[in-house]
Amino acid sequence: MTDRQRVVVVTGGGGGIGAAIAESVSRTGAFVVTVDPLVSVDGAQRLPAPQQTTADRIVAAGGAARSSAVSVTDESAITQLFGELADEFGGLDAVINVAGISRPTGFATGSDQDWLDVLSVHLDGYRNVLGAALPQMAAAGHGHILGVTSGSGWRAADSGAYSCAKRAVASLTWQLGRHAPDGVVVNAISPIAATRMVAAALARTQKANTPSTGGLSLGAMPDADDLGPIGAHLVSETFASCHGRVLFLGGSEVAVIDEPRLIEVVQGDEVTALGRLLEVATTIVLAPAEADQVSGGGSNVRLGSAFDPSPNADVPVPHTQSCAVAAGRPDVAAAISCALHARGVTTHQIESAAALADLDGLDAVVIAPAGRPVTAGGSPGWARVLDEHVGIVEDIHAAAQWSRAVADVSISSGRQIRLVTINDGTTGGGRSRAQASAQLARSGRQATGDLVIPFTVSVESDDIPAELIAHLVCSDATIPLGGAELVSGAGWFGLRSHPRPIGSISFDGPEVPRWFDETLREVVQPR
């Protein structure tokens, strides 16, 4: 770094948490650019210009700032803005992406437009910001990016598009932590504060007389201003205590949210009776691990005899008689149908969710969209990650259309239906889509009164896990795996944990204590 003034961009800096962080950053001497089109909480209306903007308050307090009305959804405008700032000031030092909107969507609810708009702002908007900032920072050899996710993206919450987008933002953050350019620090925060967006969401929950997401109460939340100092600290010039991490911020408490990790893996190839093994493994290994979110291993061998069962061992009578299959590849559709036929299940090949209404007595639906191609080598790792997230909004929206359609059929008929969503997890974007799918599935049973039992599988090899899919469709033992983060690889199947706090730091905020960085480093990487 030279002695030039640092330049920090805060999207969504017109109010709430974004404004609080922007004002705290300005007190470090940085030049702050707030990027905010100033719209209503739902993004549907432009708000009248305030008498004093965040930038105005910063300047009035003796700082340096300006505002921009560019939207994060406008990729070319964001790229142009960041380029102009780098040219004018000699670099772009940090970006905090707080921009967001909120609309009522859920597992079984929400219009297509609401789903697309929320996903576009939170997910494509973040990708646009990353795509504009990372090349500048990679060339300079330094920089900080701070994304914003939410507890709705890692706790079970029926927040639809918002939950899916925020989980994908977290996934992007975890991936970029392993591939960020040298000298560039990428993290994300999961903040909670009494903001207008949170107030609007809680008001909708109370009006609908539905359970709140985790018992949140405005009175128990910190003010947005309490998050300003810690937000500013995480993009300060010297901060490097963690990379590719999601940090919960609650004013005077910070927690590290760990990414999903494999907690159980079971061999699935060269097994003489895979159907029987799946039944036993579900009962003894997968279901307990999903309930406890930890492996049950480390003691007596649990599955030794299950790998070589008696030749006469039977798979239980299937729960399912009729299943619709919608697959983007003929070989996948054929493999799934063959496995289901072997269990006595009648299958119906369909191409659209609208076709579900024409099927009577439906017990299950399997959707397996074709994955997107792997990005060719040669690009830097971070660029490859971003390229593989092109189209993720459309992919998540398409999967959500199926969940709503299945819910409509199930609720109208009063018939329980299993929904199995297969995600191509061979790319970075595919893995983010799989995480978003699992996040959505976690709320499906409660949102439909147990009428829809949703399962998701991230397929991370070229092997088609047809027997695993048939097992999820047919077996009563799999019901506890509804909403689990199931995964299959080359010759194995298993289970990942849900994101969860792995360590917390409490202090007398909002000012950040001098020992914070050292302790955070040890939470992330024990000595």
Q: Are 439 and 162 in contact (CB under 8 A)?
A: no
Give me the residue label for tokens 């690889």: 489
* CA 187 to centroid of chain Cα atoms: 14
Q: Are 16 and 196 in contact (CB under 8 A)?
A: yes
The length of the chain in residues reads 527
Q: Are 502 and 246 in contact (CB under 8 A)?
A: no
> ∠ CA 8-14-16 to the nearest 5 degrees?
100
Q: Is the peptide bond before 480 cis (omega within 30 degrees of 0)?
A: no
Give me the residue label for tokens 């406890």: 292
- Start-end of H helices in 414-462: 428-441, 444-447
Task: Enumerate residues 6+ apart whose C-beta is below 8 A from 12.
Answer: 18, 35, 36, 97, 98, 99, 100, 148
CA distance 252 to 283: 42
- Which residue in the list 162, 248, 402, 455 is annotated as catalytic? 162
Q: Are 180 and 186 in contact (CB under 8 A)?
A: yes
Instruction: Write the CA distances from 337 to 297, 302, 346, 461, integer angstroms.
Output: 34, 31, 8, 20
CA distance 466 to 458: 13
- Burial class from Cβ neighbours inside 10 Å (0-12, 13-18, 19+) for residue 45 reads exposed
Question: Is 162 designated active site?
Answer: yes
So which residues are the catalytic ones? 162
